[in-house]
Structures are given as C-alpha cells and as structure tokens.
C-alpha cells in the first residue's frame, strides 16, 4: 500500500500563487508516474498535470503556462506550483501515484481563489 498526504491548499486572491505538495510513504517501489487532479463543486474530476518517474511532464490546456508539476524522487514527493490563479481554479486538488496494476490517491486539499 501507498499512503499519500497532500498539503499546501488554502485561500488565495486572484493572481496569487500556491504550492501543493504530496508526500508518499509505504510500498512505493515501482511507481511509474504521479499526477494532480481537481474536482470543482458539481463537476467531474479532471486531470491537471502529470509527471513520469523520468521527469516527462504534461498538463491541461486550462493551466498551461500557469501551473508547473515537479517531483523529488529522493523525498517521494510531487509538487504543483500554481501561479496566476483564477477563480475557476477553485477545487479540491488530489494527487495520484501510479504503478502497474494499481493507483493511489491522496485525501484532497481545498484550493479557493477568491477576492
């Protein structure tokens, strides 16, 4: 089993920044990729960004140029740097770790962008 603990969410004004962290513990061997998803009230969960264990990244068009995903393999941690935040970025953000045959999710952290 893999346990994921997210942190870094909160309330921020439009145009502000936040950095989310997701630390993994447990049986973390064989992890292939990590990702961030978000779910706004009344909407489906959507993919925000992914990063492979080798460092290849991708992100949704809606956050391209504003959000950056990174990872620290030594710390078993994945990050999401969020800049130029907009009210429509308000959601619960979840991290995901993937390995063959299984994926693991964090408990979610609330991000609210409002003036």
Contact 95, 78 (CB under 8 A): yes
Q: How far apart are CA 109 and CA 80, in angstroms?
A: 12
Contact 74, 92 (CB under 8 A): no
Q: How far apart are CA 55 and CA 7, in angstroms?
A: 22
At residue 41, the 3 state secondary structure works out as coil
Nearby residues of 74 by Cβ (< 8 Å), 6 or more positions away: none
Of 24-28, 31-35, 41-45, 61-65, give the lowest mean pLDDT range. Answer: 24-28
Asked if the model's pLDDT at residue 100 lies above 90, the reply is: no
Asked if the model's pLDDT at residue 46 lies above 90, the reply is: yes
């Amino acid at each position: 089993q893999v346990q994921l603990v997210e942190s870094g969410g909160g309330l921020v004004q439009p145009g502000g920044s936040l950095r989310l962290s997701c630390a993994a513990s447990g049986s973390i061997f064989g992890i292939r990729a990590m990702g961030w998803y978000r779910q706004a009230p009344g909407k489906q969960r959507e993919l925000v960004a992914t990063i492979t264990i080798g460092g290849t990244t991708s992100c949704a068009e809606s956050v391209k140029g504003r959000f950056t995903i990174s990872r620290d393999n030594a710390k078993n941690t994945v990050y999401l740097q969020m800049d130029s935040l907009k009210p429509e970025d308000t959601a619960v953000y979840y991290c995901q770790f993937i390995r063959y045959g299984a994926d693991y999710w964090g408990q979610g952290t609330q991000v609210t962008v409002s003036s």
